[in-house]
Amino acid sequence: MKVLVIGGGGREHALVWKLLNDSRKPEVYCAPGNAGTAELATNLDIGSEDVRGIVAWARENRPDLTVVGPEAPLCAGLTDLLEKEGLRVFGPSREASRMEGSKVFAKDVMMAAGVPTAQSSTFTDAAKAIDFIHDIGAPVVIKAEGLAAGKGVTVCATLQEAERAIQESLVEGAFGDAGRRILVEEFLEGEEVSVLALTDGVHVVLLASAQDHKRAFDNDQGPNTGGMGAYSPAPILTPELMPVIEREVFGRTLSELKNRGIHYKGVLYAGLMMTKAGPKTLEFNCRFGDPETQVILPRIEGDLIPALEACIDGTLSPELVRYKPEACVCVVMAAGGYPGAYQKGKEIRGLKMAAKVKQAVVFHAGTRLQDGKVLSAGGRVLGVTALGQTLKEAVDRAYQAVGKISYDGAMFRRDIATKALVK
């Protein structure tokens, strides 16, 4: 079996790692991959957003399954184009991917479906948006409508912060076309949790819960990032809540999409806020999360490919996904200065020592190989991940592995999963 994985980050390294452990022992290719995937699979010199290049390679090499990691190629219609070539693809269509590609579209779907979510208003004019925030007061959340690499959401404690976020997006163009329209959303108080679901458009199988750490620094300080670490399971999401989320969030959303003639197949990822009034949906993503994938996949018992194929075939069922009882923790090691300006090309040392830590695996995110050395090549560099019988054991092992790794300017949070441990 030949499998093509699209993407070059930590999520894709985790997918390649898991797929290679499948009992069918597939031959895996990764476009473009990184230094970590190069050790496991065949990297292709094709960027994840080079849709034409990917389609041309797939047309010639005929992979049995393509798994699309990032949101950009999905929103660009890669699934549709590959399916026209008669190929099997795990990932939603271009129209279905609007659930992430347009926050305005997603909010409209949620409101029509009766999905619990924050109230919001949409603006393209900065002055009108500023008048609105002065009417409703702070705190408030400002969201760029389109894809902004996880950095288009600003939680504003004051009106001054909100005004600045509006100016940056609508006037200064900080997010380009993605920020030419914004949502001004009510602030929801609570803890955020991620729930990813596999779906064939009708059936839904919830994956293990996970909690991400978006802020750059300890104690949830600093700017938002693509994610500085994660852990699974998230204790705040009790077993009793899972069927409620399956019904009120995923069931209602898929039903509304179907009403609009959209058949959603792949991963649907809900970012939820656990409020006093119950779970409320902050946003949807149309792909596996990063770094949530790094803590969910190591917990899956057995094969992953049958579940992905069932999503394509319309035969998804709960028994296709089974979990180990262990907890899993991922600590992201980033480049100094991330998510702002940062340097690349720093030699990374200690990877082999880190991999020797019990039940630890180092997923590469922004890395490349040069002259036999592993160098940093992105803002998020590594996802140092470990399983443990308890969450505390997983945390200890992950940080033990982190301690084996060094490169100039390395930064990471030292409080991943602390929130769950103190309860």
| Distance (Å) of CA 185 to CA 20, 64, 117, 120, 171 | 42, 43, 10, 4, 19
Do 333 and 319 have their domain in common?
no
Do 19 and 129 have their domain in common?
no
Asked if residue 113 belongs to a domain, the reply is: no
Q: pLDDT at position 179, please?
A: 87
Do 54 and 166 have their domain in common?
no
Asked if residue 99 belongs to a domain, the reply is: no
Q: pLDDT at position 146, please?
A: 85
Last residue of a domain, one of 167, 186, 205: 186
Q: pLDDT at position 8, please?
A: 97
How far is 266 from 247, CA to CA, in rounded Å? 18
In which domain, by residue range, is 54 found?
2-94
| Distance (Å) of CA 312 to CA 199, 300, 398 | 9, 20, 35
Q: pLDDT at position 321, please?
A: 97
Do 331 and 312 have their domain in common?
no
pLDDT truncated to tens, each residue of the chain (423 aa)? 999 999 999 999 999 999 999 999 999 999 999 999 999 999 999 999 999 999 999 999 999 999 999 999 999 999 999 999 999 999 999 999 999 999 999 999 999 999 999 988 999 999 999 999 998 888 999 999 888 766 788 889 999 999 999 998 999 988 988 888 988 998 999 999 999 999 999 999 999 999 999 999 999 999 888 899 999 999 999 989 999 999 999 999 999 999 999 999 999 999 999 999 899 999 999 999 999 999 999 999 999 999 999 999 999 999 999 999 999 999 999 999 999 999 999 999 999 999 999 999 999 999 999 999 999 999 999 999 999 999 999 999 999 999 999 999 999 999 999 989 875
Do 408 and 377 have their domain in common?
yes
Q: What are the structure tokens assigned to 167, written together?
A: 């100016």
Q: pLDDT at position 153, please?
A: 85
| Class of residue 281 by CB neighbours under 10 A (exposed 0-12, middle 13-18, buried 19+) | buried
Q: Is 240 helix (H, G, I), strand (E, B) or coil?
A: helix
Asked if residue 103 belongs to a domain, the reply is: no
Asked if residue 370 belongs to a domain, the reply is: yes
Alpha helices in 320-373 (DSSP H): 351-355
How far is 264 from 74, CA to CA, in rounded Å? 12
Q: CATH number of the domain at 178, please.
A: 3.30.1490.20
How far is 363 from 405, CA to CA, in rounded Å? 13
Whether 51 and 78 have beta carbons less than 8 Å apart is answered as yes
Alpha helices in 282-422 (DSSP H): 292-296, 305-313, 351-355, 391-402, 418-421
Do 311 and 369 have their domain in common?
no
**CB contact set of 211 (below 8 Å; sequence gap of 6+):** 191, 192, 193, 194, 230, 231, 232, 234, 236, 417, 419, 420
Do 374 and 280 have their domain in common?
no
pTM score: 0.93
Do 195 and 319 have their domain in common?
yes
| Distance (Å) of CA 288 to CA 44, 92, 320 | 21, 11, 17
Question: What is the phi/psi pair of residue 331, to 5°?
Answer: -110, 120
Question: What is the phi/psi pair of residue 314, to 5°?
Answer: 80, 25
How far is 74 from 286, CA to CA, in rounded Å? 8
Last residue of a domain, one of 323, 352, 375: 323
> What b/e string do you get for 169-186 counting C-beta neighbours within 10 Å, with b at 16 or more?
bbeeebbeebbebbbbbe
Q: What is the dihedral of CA 171, 172, 173, 179, to 10 degrees?
A: -50
Asked if residue 218 belongs to a domain, the reply is: yes
Asked if residue 100 belongs to a domain, the reply is: no
Asked if residue 105 belongs to a domain, the reply is: no
Q: CATH number of the domain at 24, please.
A: 3.40.50.20
Last residue of a domain, one of 291, 323, 355: 323
Q: CATH number of the domain at 259, please.
A: 3.30.470.20
How far is 355 from 385, CA to CA, in rounded Å? 10
Q: CATH number of the domain at 354, please.
A: 3.90.600.10
| Distance (Å) of CA 88 to CA 15, 67, 407 | 17, 9, 40
Asked if residue 274 belongs to a domain, the reply is: yes
Q: What are the structure tokens assigned to 161, written together?
A: 């912060």
Do 209 and 182 have their domain in common?
no
Do 319 and 342 have their domain in common?
no
Do 199 and 311 have their domain in common?
yes
Number of folded domains in the chain?
A: 4
Do 83 and 139 have their domain in common?
no
